[in-house]
Amino acid sequence: MSKKEVRALSWKRKDLLDLDDLSAQEIELILQCALPMKEVLSRPLKKLPTLRGKSIALMFYENSTRTRTSFEIAGKILGADITNFSVAQSSVYKGESLLDTAKTLQAMNIDLVIIRHASSGASEFLAKQLRAGVINGGDGQHAHPTQALLDFFTMKERWGDFRGKKILIVGDILHSRVARSNALGLKKLGAEVVLIGPPTLLPPEMSYLGVRTSYNLDRELPGADAVMALRLQLERQQSGLFPSLREYNRLYGLTKERIAKTGKDTIVLHPGPLNRGVEISSDLADSVQSVIEEQVTNGVAVRMALIYLLMGGGTGNVVA
Ligand code: CP
């Protein structure tokens, strides 16, 4: 599909919950729409009137730095009013349910809800109940679609096209919503994806994602165009899912020396937050091969694009 054809597509969805039901063309439309949004970010005056009068609620039931902040910045640049719903100071602590909380916000005429929740399926549940649009900012171990979209944007900026590209995703695949959303989307875009981790964090049932799996990082490195390290959730060690941080680092930790085995000008991604010295060495995280800070910047542009498409009913023809 050409860029012109992608631009001609219009967005018809109320919600963005996962990438599994998006077509490759819809993903391309979001990425295309994020391009002019990124240009706006480099302006001295970063403010558009596009969504003036629209309101967005951020409902984060789990901690977040990048996702929450970038959605807030994205919405404000587009001119929307943002309500930061603070779980700690809310009636959630008096036992108010997720649905009643969301309906209360809707009764205040909120147009879009962005939710992060520890329960897989929380965003889909809300989307079915609310007139307002819903964006999934990460739900349990299920999906983190906006993280995957910003990862795609970052890779596309480098390569233009995903076909023929080999992308390794390394770490705790079993518990990772980032790995799942990336694998589903990258497969649609035509990339070769390999999920890599120790057998305890990469059980055979992960093959349902339809991409290759491997326990051996060093064997997969040659020819890799991108390597994405996942944050190792350190509490997993208590559950006996990996023996020690040193052992994990020896087999799966990304270092400059290890990345050199790709034989290519490979880029290194990480969704954050980083465990430096565990899944990625500090010198690699801060090297020119690392695109971790670009991912964060691109997160704002991609989230602007999504908010615009969902609230503006727009097409890829964004004129900012
Ligand atoms: N990548 C990501 O979701 O980061 P936060 O938890 O800081 O939002």
274, 231 contact by CB (below 8 A) = yes
* Residue-range definition of the domain harbouring residue 130: 3-143+297-313
Q: 79 C-alpha vs ligand 1 centroid, how far in Å?
A: 23
Buried b (16+ CB within 10 A) or exposed e, 12-36: eeebbbbbeebeeebbbbbbbbbbb
**Nearest to residue 303, comparing CAs of 5, 77, 10?**
77
51 with 118, same domain: the answer is: yes
178 and 65 part of one domain = no
Instruction: Determine the pLDDT at residue 102.
Output: 86
CA 272 to ligand 1 centroid distance, Å: 6
Cβ–ligand 1 contact at 66 (below 6 Å)? yes
Residue 176 CB less than 6 A away from ligand 1: no
Q: How many domains does the chain have?
A: 2
Is 249 among the domain residues?
Answer: yes
Q: 3-class DSSP state for residue 73? A: helix
Number of Cβ within a 10 Å radius of residue 256 = 12
Q: Which residues of the chain have pLDDT under 70?
A: 1-8, 235, 237-238, 313-320
Q: What CATH number is associated with residue 169?
A: 3.40.50.1370
C-beta of 233 in contact with ligand 1 (< 6 A): no
For the Cβ of 65 lying below 6 angstroms from any atom of ligand 1, the answer is yes
Amino acid at 9: L
Please, where are the H alpha helices in the chain? 3-8, 24-41, 66-77, 98-107, 122-129, 145-159, 177-189, 217-220, 245-252, 256-259, 282-285, 292-312
User: Could you tell me whether strands 267-269 and 226-229 are parallel, antiparallel, or unpaired per DSSP bridges?
Assistant: parallel
Distance CA 216, CA 85 (A): 43
Cβ of 137 closer than 6 Å to ligand 1, yes or no, is no
CB 31 within 8 A of CB 302: yes
Same domain membership, residue 246 and residue 136: no
Q: Return the best residue to mutate from 71, 147, 295 for the ligand 1 pocket (most ligand atoms within 8 A of CB).
A: 147
Residues 151 and 82 in one domain: no
What does the alpha-carbon distance between residue 290 and residue 17 come to, in Å, rounded to a whole number?
Answer: 28
Give yes or no: residues 215 and 139 share one domain. no
Do 237 and 182 sit in the same domain of this protein? yes
Q: Does any domain span residue 230?
A: yes
Angle, alpha carbons 216-176-130 (nearest 5°): 155
232: which DSSP letter? P
Ligand 1 atom closest to Cα of residue 138: 3
* 283 in any annotated domain: yes
Contact 218, 261 (CB under 8 A): yes
Q: Note the pLDDT of residue 144.
A: 98
Q: Could you tell me if 161 and 97 lie in one domain?
A: no
Helix (H, G, I), strand (E, B) or coil at 43: coil
Does 147 contact ligand 1 (Cβ within 6 A)?
Answer: yes
Q: Quick one: pLDDT at residue 302?
A: 98
Domain identity same for 48 and 137: yes
Query: Are 112 and 229 members of one domain?
Result: no
| Contact between residue 303 and residue 146 where contact means Cβ atoms under 8 Å apart | yes
237 class by beta-carbon count within 10 Å (0-12 exposed, 13-18 middle, 19+ buried): middle
Residue 319 covered by a domain? no
Q: Is 127 within a domain?
A: yes
Tell me if 154 is assigned to some domain. yes
The CB of 145 under 6 Å from ligand 1? The reply is no
Atom 6 of ligand 1: nearest residue by CA position: 64
For residue 272 and ligand 1, the question of a CB distance below 6 A is answered with yes
Q: Does 271 contact ligand 1 (Cβ within 6 A)?
A: yes
User: Are 220 and 289 members of one domain?
Assistant: yes
Among 58, 63, 65, 71, residue to substitute to test ligand 1 (most atoms within 8 Å of Cβ): 65
Q: Per the domain annotation, does 320 fall within a domain? A: no
Per-residue DSSP letters for 233-265? Answer: -GGGGTTTSSS-HHHHHHHH-B-HHHHGGG-S-
Structural domain includes residue 318:
no
Task: Kindly state whether residues 190 and 200 are assigned to the same domain.
Answer: yes
Whose alpha carbon is nearest atom 3 of ligand 1?
A: 67
DSSP string, 109-155: T-SEEEEEESSTTHHHHHHHH-SSEEEEEEETTTB-HHHHHHHHHHH
Indicate if 169 and 129 belong to the same structural domain: no
